[in-house]
Structure 1
Amino acid sequence: MLMMYLVSSALKYIFPDYALVRSRNPEVIKQADIVLDVGGEYDPEAGRFDHHQRGGAGAREDGTPYSSFGLIWKKYGATICNDNQDIANSIDSSLVSSIDAIDCGYVKGVLTGVSLSQTISMFNPTWQEEGDFDGCFNQAVEFASCILGRFIASATGGISAKAIVAQAIENAQDPRIIVLEKYTPGKKRYIPYQRKLYMLFIHHNQANGKFRLCQWS
């Protein structure tokens, strides 16, 4: 069910006014512009994104199979991320592929503690409640939209930081001293060298003209 919430939230980025219809009726499915997780067909050009058919709907290079979330993300992920494929790939690695793996039963072992899936599933009414299932579904989709939005923001920040650090290294007069014009996270991860280097990162405060030691790496 977590997969459906996230797929619905992803589609809202592209089709904010879409009408969601939950049905397994073949006639209803036939009339839909986009069909996901039902219908037994994967055809992105026709707007069909199911993965339950015999043979599935393909897998990533690491073997993680695609569920409907991954299939939707494969087609629309870059568009959702302002046409930035690098950010879309980062989201696929950090979120989408994990959800696909869980949905396809590809993950071995049982996760302990409170999971994202458990958290979102708690939006559903309990057996003791007479809740509005459609209303609860919409609430869960809104919550999933917030989560997806934060993943996108985090990935965007990471991609931007990588570019800033790479440019600072390129511009450095002394390759051992890297000057960053503003705070940039994750510097160690973005050093584009295989051999071990020792670099001194410093931040330049443009307001007062002072430099501040950031870290050794």
Structure 2
Amino acid sequence: MSEPSSKRLKMADGTAAPVIGTHNGHFHADEALAVYLLRLLPDYQNAQLVRTRDPELLKDCTIVVDVGGVHDDALRRYDHHQREFNATFPGKHTKLSSAGLVWMHYGKKIISTVTGLDVDSADAELLYQKLYEDLIEAFDANDNGISVYDPQELRKAGIEKKLNDKGFSLASVVGRYNHAPITPLVDAVSSNGAPPAAAKTEKTQDEEDARFQRASTFVGEQFSLELSDKFTSWLPARAVVARAFNSRTALDPSGRIIVIPHRPEGVPWSDHLYALEEENGCAGQVLYALFAENGEPNSKWRIRAVSLEPGSFENRKALPEAWRGVRDEDLSKVSGVPGAIFVHAGGFIGGNQTFEGALEMAKKAVEI
């Protein structure tokens, strides 16, 4: 993988294959993802990878990420370590890493290549923004030492961690590939059950490059899963949730309850709800979402309390405390609504035998 330019591969037409350059030595999640992203583009699908800090070798690379001290799109150089670098993704404040730089300059082309969407379409723009917010910005923040919360403010507030997660993240998993044994212990167990020999840990350049490729494949799979989910599920759900949002007062004049139509593939609704509220100047208005368990006419219905913010375990308004942990007839009695099935002890979800019952439970919960 780290061959000098004189040994560059040839394309089918006889021209030299493009070369992606990055640094050798200890690698990080950002350049592992940057290289994967570039290889999604037709121009770099068959590119060689050169991992080096030698300026002469980097000079001959077609494109360079995370090394070289230059950010210049015209020259296809994407480093972020230089003192004067302060670029951010449009509308964001997180300083970019090589992953964010590649996404900023090539993200829409990557989306178009993978999904077939027109590169200038509104849907491509939505995915471009969403993939950065939900995945790539975390790579940028990690590589630049930016925490989700200000550590000093947390200490001043006396907030302590409830468990030791050792900073577990995609980036920390990538870090393991730098030090993992060449042959993992569980794979080294001999067929007769004898203890394996000591695992080799020395690293030649070829071994280091192979580790990098494993790391790049790993983060690339996470990106692929994220893009696939957003394109096939999240994006189509936007129109479904918008219709539900715009018609929410038809069943409940307060606008505090939204009914999510059933779709076999599911409807990831919460992100779109937050966005629609912001766009319509009513952030935080919707308290409960109703949805059927299945598409059958006699389906049971669920009531879901809307989270305070995306991914939060806190709710804008949990279901009433007196209902929590109560089931069936007991719940029907305490709630005053026939057909009640359950309310979770955490108050974030409940159920009823019918849509009408679920709606009545939600309406009562709004008022309590």
Q: Verify same fold: TM over 0.5.
A: yes
Tell me if the contact between 2:108 and 2:128 (Cα under 8 Å) persists in the aligned partners.
yes
Distance between the aligned counterparts of 2:271 and 2:128, measured in 1? 22
Give the 4+ runs in structure 1 shifted more than 6 A: none
The yes-or-no answer on 1:72 pairing with 2:102 is yes
User: Match of 1:39, as an amino acid?
Assistant: G
Which one is further off, 64-73 or 131-140? 131-140
User: Match of 1:92, as an amino acid?
Assistant: Y
Aligned to 2:301: 213
Tell me if the contact between 2:241 and 2:269 (Cα under 8 Å) persists in the aligned partners.
no
Which one is further off, 196-205 or 70-79? 196-205
Alignment of 1:28-107 (within 5 A): 28-60=57-89, 61-82=91-112, 83=119, 84-107=124-147
- Report the alpha carbon displacement of residue 56 of structure 1 after superposing the two structures with TM: 0.8
User: Match of 1:34, as an amino acid?
Assistant: I
Aligned Cα RMSD in Å? 3.1
Distance between the aligned counterparts of 1:122 and 1:77, measured in 2? 27
Aligned to 2:356: none
**TM-score, length-normalised on structure 2?**
0.51
Which one is further off, 156-165 or 48-57? 156-165
Tell me if the contact between 2:87 and 2:96 (Cα under 8 Å) persists in the aligned partners.
yes
- Report the alpha carbon displacement of residue 166 of structure 1 after superposing the two structures with TM: 0.7
Which one is further off, 1-10 or 150-159? 150-159
Equivalent in 225, 229, 250 of residue 150 of structure 1:
225
- Say which one has the larger Rg: 2
Which consecutive residues of structure 2, in runs of 5 or more, have no partner in the other structure? Answer: 1-27, 113-118, 152-163, 182-199, 253-257, 306-368
User: Match of 1:174, as an amino acid?
Assistant: A
- Report the alpha carbon displacement of residue 73 of structure 1 after superposing the two structures with TM: 0.5
Distance between the aligned counterparts of 2:271 and 2:208, measured in 1? 47
Tell me if the contact between 1:172 and 1:179 (Cα under 8 Å) persists in the aligned partners.
no
Aligned to 2:210: 135
Q: Comparing both chains, which one has the higher relative contact order based on Cα–Cα distances under 8 Å and sequence gaps of 6 or more?
A: 1
Distance between the aligned counterparts of 2:180 and 2:293, measured in 1? 55
Which consecutive residues of structure 1, in runs of 5 or more, have no partner in the other structure? Answer: none
Aligned to 1:180: 261
Equivalent in 169, 192, 200 of residue 115 of structure 1:
169
Distance between the aligned counterparts of 1:45 and 1:203, measured in 2? 52
Equivalent in 239, 246, 260 of residue 163 of structure 1:
239
> Aligned residues, how many?
216
Distance between the aligned counterparts of 1:200 and 1:141, measured in 2? 39
